[in-house]
Amino acid sequence: MHIYLNGQFVEKGEARISPFDHGFLYGMGLFETLRIYDGHPFLLDDHLNRLNQGLDALNINHRFSREEMNKILQRLLEINHLTNAYIRINVSAGMGEVGLQVDPYNEPNIIIFPKPLPQAGELIEKEAVLLKLKRNTPEGVERLKSHHFMNNILAKREIGESPNQEGIFLTKDGYVAEGIVSNIFWKRDQTLYTPSLSTGILNGITRQFIIELAGKNVLNVQEGQYSFEHAHKADEMFVTNSIQEIVPIISFEGHQMPGKKGELVQLLHQDYRQYCKSLWSRHCLRRNEQ
């Protein structure tokens, strides 16, 4: 498998970066994961916008455009003979002296990792389990998709390797936050609920897309701070991320739900299939309606 490293396409076993990279020494780095469907990088604009905002917050002097990134991605697909793929875009601060740096980082390390994926289609159900470990607070003003992932790793160790479960964090104040690698939604009556960014969650790209889809389908969406008891009474529940898409929940701490048979999950999944091979940004949904 070939990866992209600072302007070159190299065999993954040959890739090297310096131990003085501040992404390694101090966690100064960001990443994005996205999915490619039949050659199309779904919601690439949204991923790059979030990445560029994060780079600004970390004082890393580099910005990505759709044209630049899509050219790299298409070449990676070609070299690795891929059509459907997992993509991780990783940007670390680059080399620096040992010690905390205030000055901007001007030579970041840019690495893009591809992995083959099968064609998407069938909904895969999971159980949601409440984590004992609480969600940590963001390092800065808002949570970045950064190299600081220990809270997630410890949570994964808590529930183990089961592929059929997703752990759900509560905040230290007891509000529902997010999954280990996902955002969470639940439906009660005619309203779709999801934790607000004030809980310290990551503003997932698929989260934002689902909120747009719900609006397109004239569904009331409420973002707020919700207790476990509120979520536990859900009629339907699902979690989202850019690789697994929409994951229906069949049970949450003993409360059974319809999973992939849920009407809302089926509606959103149908829309997802419609847009995943063509949409560059969630904002395109609004333009399509005009």
Q: Cite the beta strand spans of 189-282 per DSSP E.
A: 191-195, 220-224, 236-241, 245-252, 255-256
Give residue 285's pLDDT band: very low, low, confident or very high (50, 70, 90): confident
Average pLDDT score, the chain = 96
pTM value is: 0.96
Which phi-psi region, left, alpha or beta, contains residue 33 (left: φ > 0; alpha: ψ -120 to 50)?
A: beta
pLDDT of residue 290: 40
**Do 106 and 142 contact (CB within 8 A), yes or no?**
no
34 pLDDT higher than 80: yes
Q: What are phi and psi of 120, to 5 degrees?
A: -80, 160
Domain ranges of the chain: 2-116, 126-289
Return the H-helix or E-strand segment holding 288. Answer: helix 284-289
Can you name the CATH fold of 2-116? D-amino Acid Aminotransferase; Chain A, domain 1 (3.30.470)
Say whether domain 126-289 belongs to CATH 3.60.21.10: no
pLDDT of residue 162: 86
Torsion of CA 160, 166, 171, 172, to 10 degrees: -20
